[in-house]
Amino acid sequence: MLHSKIGGIGYYVPEKVVTNQDLERVMDTTDEWIQERTGIKQRRYGKKHEETTTTMGARAATIAIERAGIRKEDVDFIVFATLSPDYYFPGCGVLLQREMGMTNQEAGALDIRNQCSGFVYGLSIADQFVKTGMYKNVLLVGAEMHSMGLDFTTRGRNVTVIFGDGAGAVVVQPTTNQEEAILTTHLHSDGTYAEKLSFINPGAHGGYHFKKMGEEVDFGYSDATYGEIFLNEHMMQEGQIYPHMEGRFVFKMAVQKFPEVIMEALQKTGLQPQDIGMLIPHQANLRISDFVARKMGLRDDQVWNNIQRFGNTTAASVPIALCEAWEAGAINKGDLVCLAAFGSGFTWGAALLRWAL
């Protein structure tokens, strides 16, 4: 029976380190406040005008391809997960293809907009493509350039202090050995509270959705022309062009859905939490990771956290943490690895795999 495995992995984070003290200089916040609420001490920012989501993704992908023992010409499908694409359209998949000089092979490219859950969703997609025999080398990339779209004022501090830039990538390949394979993936979503964690403007909704949902907020559409509906002065003045998050609500949902989907994956495979060699949670908040670990009865050495140093890199956080844990020797061949994520949408998911490298 054909299965799929992670045959190569790599990650890239920019050189520039931005500490909590650096953010204190531009907004009303403190290192103590940030660490208490998120666990973050620093994050990385890409070089303005030099690095993008695509270029960082290409750096990570190059490492993953080399470690997979293939050439870039052997990649027959690309899956790119991000919430911070270089362009509104086209997506980063084709831009990555161009950046890496892969345009003459006509490989397909798919872009995923599932934010924090993007990599786990992408892994599930790659798993299906490979184990059905459709593709042999699927390049899956999660990358983010958050620093180009954050509100660096006190108004935006609750969101801005959380996010960092970076990229991670894997090559998913076929295997007949279940002891080195992706065992199961589980994906879920619930759009009821979509606006609780969102980037609403500019958008093509024209204000319609908010009226339908009974919002009391004035989004400045009443006298706008069609062009101004997409982006107008009211949106700029009110800070609506930046991400919005109701932190307490998101936290409450995350600590509920994380353990649920992990247990779903374990039950599907007849395994128990104590069988997990390493849990790689999406690096949303250190308090969330600690809560999930306690609820699952996991030891500290069974959970990998790097949000303290990299912040939340959303779609990139799982592959960055996975690669870092493997490079540090915390994951070994045959170990049971659990990947889990929860994010905007809301969407959430988990994957169980036997480590192949």
Catalytic residue positions, numbered: 116, 282, 312
What does the CA dihedral 159, 89, 113, 41 come to, rounded to 10 degrees?
-30
Region of 206 please: left (phi>0), alpha (psi -120 to 50) or beta.
left
Helix axes 31-38, 286-296, angle to 10 degrees: 30
166: left (phi over 0), alpha (psi -120 to 50) or beta: left
130-to-230, 292, 336 alpha-carbon distances in Å: 40, 31, 20
Q: 3-class SS at 74?
A: helix
Write phi, then psi, for 119 (nearest 5 degrees): -70, -40
Contact residues for 145 (Cβ-Cβ < 8 A; gap 6+): 46, 51, 52, 53, 56, 84, 86, 165
CA distance 144 to 58: 12
Q: At what angle do helices 247-269 and 286-296 cross, to 10 degrees?
A: 40
Residue with tokens 């279940």: 178
